[in-house]
């Protein structure tokens, strides 16, 4: 068959049976391998749908510019659509995304702007905000906004769902997928449930994301939000494409479990897939072990290709440095925290605290740096050396509020970060923060790292 352009090859990706990783599970486990799309991910489906719907609505005109915040894969789909249809593309990305994703987008002619990860969505530096600002400033530009653009879930309702139903001959009983923007899960699940209301949908979430708790309680808990490494799933916002009525259950998966499973998929099943694919399979199999019975058939969506992660999860050094490879010789942030005696309590001050009172807290606790809090969230930090310099220059600052003198927040690190990573992130004056499984925040200083090295 001859196609008019590369975007005409999107869709109709294969279903592949798992043969090893499903050992001991009743029922059949199938994976839908989305890297067979031309942009190597499922995001091609919604990218072309958003572009074509925008054209129909007059939102995207000839010679226009597509501007989007992306973790990489949506950008690739939009870039392919842009090439085929003659649009320029500008993408904003969080700095946690892999270098391969950035390089691939630039290779297909897109402009890429890298933004900080550890800022709130409404911060003007976030990749959401930067994309919106560019859209306002650049004439004849279109901001698809994959999070809230309902063409996202409709693309999967119109293609992914029908393909699964067709290829399983209507035998599918369970559908599992990672939830990020929510389009693939919500659209596919909606179609499958319309064909058979008994189809069970399982959404895969990550620690550091709000989805699971929001589904189970209806509460958007900001304490659930903290930095994580896995790319492409989980959110600190509630995208309009996430239809919680279409998601029956949520399973959370750690960064480490996701990374380890991704490598197993490659080595044991021959599926060279991306990081969130490992999340999806680990979480889905965890659910399947307890709930699938003979005759059931689960389909797991595998979003993208492993080439996006060659410098991360497919790199032994990177995996080892983040504590994702089992090695008894590597101490992690978790080990440092667990070695502390009981009764630990992080010393903090509120942003409204007076500077002189904050100094008293630091002196009483014999600490040289403290996180600054507001409404349970870390919003900044103070260090004794910089605070001293500021007060020497302006003695009146001791009666000011901490908010007037605080510095940027200390960085959060993953719980399984090794000493190499910790030491590289602890700069000349600041410690790092880590959140344990119970969401308690801990501080790790240079002293802690030196003690772990020598102890």
Q: List the catalytic residues.
A: 43
* The token pair that represents 76 in the structure block: 């690739």
For the chain, how far is it from start to end, CA to CA, in angstroms? 66
Instruction: Name the E strands within 105-186.
Output: 111-115, 141-142, 174-178
Check if the beta carbon of residue 422 is closer than 8 Å to that of residue 444: yes
CB neighbour burial string for 240-271, b if at least 16 within 10 angstroms, e if fewer: bbbbbebbbbbbbbbbbbbbbbbbbbbeebeb
Asked if 293 and 358 touch (Cβ cutoff 8 Å), the reply is no
Say which DSSP state 104 is in: H
Closest alpha carbon to 441 in 394, 378, 392: 378
Q: Residue 306: in which H helix or E strand, if any?
A: none
* CA gap 89, 91 in Å, rounded: 7
C-beta neighbour count of 313 within 10 angstroms: 28
Nearest to 50 by CA among 42, 41, 59, 37: 59
Give exposure, 334-364, as e/b (b: 16+ Cβ within 10 Å): bebbeeeeeeeeeebbebebebeebbeebee
């Amino acid at each position: 068959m001859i196609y008019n352009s590369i975007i005409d090859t999107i869709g109709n990706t294969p279903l592949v049976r798992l043969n090893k990783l499903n050992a001991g599970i009743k029922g059949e486990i199938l994976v839908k391998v989305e890297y067979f799309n031309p942009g190597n991910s499922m995001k091609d489906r919604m990218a072309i749908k958003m572009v074509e719907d925008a054209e129909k609505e007059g939102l995207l005109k000839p010679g226009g510019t597509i501007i989007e915040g992306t973790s990489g894969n949506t950008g690739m789909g939009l870039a392919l659509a842009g090439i085929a249809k003659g649009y320029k593309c500008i993408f904003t990305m969080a700095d946690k995304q892999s270098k391969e994703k950035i390089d691939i987008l630039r290779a297909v002619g897109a402009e890429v702007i890298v933004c900080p990860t550890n800022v709130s969505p409404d911060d003007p530096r976030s990749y959401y905000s930067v994309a919106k600002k560019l859209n306002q400033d650049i004439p004849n530009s279109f901001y698809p906004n994959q999070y809230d653009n309902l063409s996202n879930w409709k693309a999967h309702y119109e293609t992914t769902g029908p393909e699964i139903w067709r290829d399983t001959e209507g035998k599918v009983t369970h559908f599992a997928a990672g939830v990020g923007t929510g389009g693939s899960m919500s659209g596919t699940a909606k179609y499958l449930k319309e064909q058979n209301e008994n189809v069970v949908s399982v959404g895969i979430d990550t620690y550091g994301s709000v989805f699971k708790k929001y589904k189970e309680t209806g509460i958007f808990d900001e304490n659930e939000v903290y930095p994580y490494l896995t790319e492409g799933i989980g959110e600190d916002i509630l995208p309009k494409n996430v239809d919680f009525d279409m998601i029956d259950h949520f399973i959370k998966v750690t960064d480490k479990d996701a990374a380890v499973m991704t490598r197993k998929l490659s080595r044991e099943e021959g599926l060279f897939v991306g990081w969130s694919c490992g999340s999806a399979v680990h979480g889905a199999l965890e659910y399947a072990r307890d709930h699938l019975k003979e005759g059931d058939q689960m389909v797991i969506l595998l979003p993208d290709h492993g080439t996006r992660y060659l410098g991360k999860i497919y790199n032994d050094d990177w995996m080892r440095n983040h504590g994702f490879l089992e090695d008894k010789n590597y101490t992690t942030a978790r080990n440092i925290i667990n070695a502390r005696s009981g009764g630990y309590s992080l010393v903090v001050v509120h942003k409204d605290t007076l500077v002189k009172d904050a100094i008293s807290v630091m002196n009483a606790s014999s600490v040289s740096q403290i996180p600054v809090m507001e409404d349970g969230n870390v919003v900044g930090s103070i260090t004794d050396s910089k605070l001293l310099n500021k007060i020497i220059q302006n003695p009146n600052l001791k009666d000011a509020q901490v908010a007037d003198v605080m510095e940027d927040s200390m960085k959060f690190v993953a719980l399984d970060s090794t000493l190499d990573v910790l030491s590289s992130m602890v700069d000349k004056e600041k410690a790092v923060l880590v959140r344990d499984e119970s969401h308690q925040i801990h501080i790790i200083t240079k002293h802690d790292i030196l003690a772990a090295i020598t102890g």
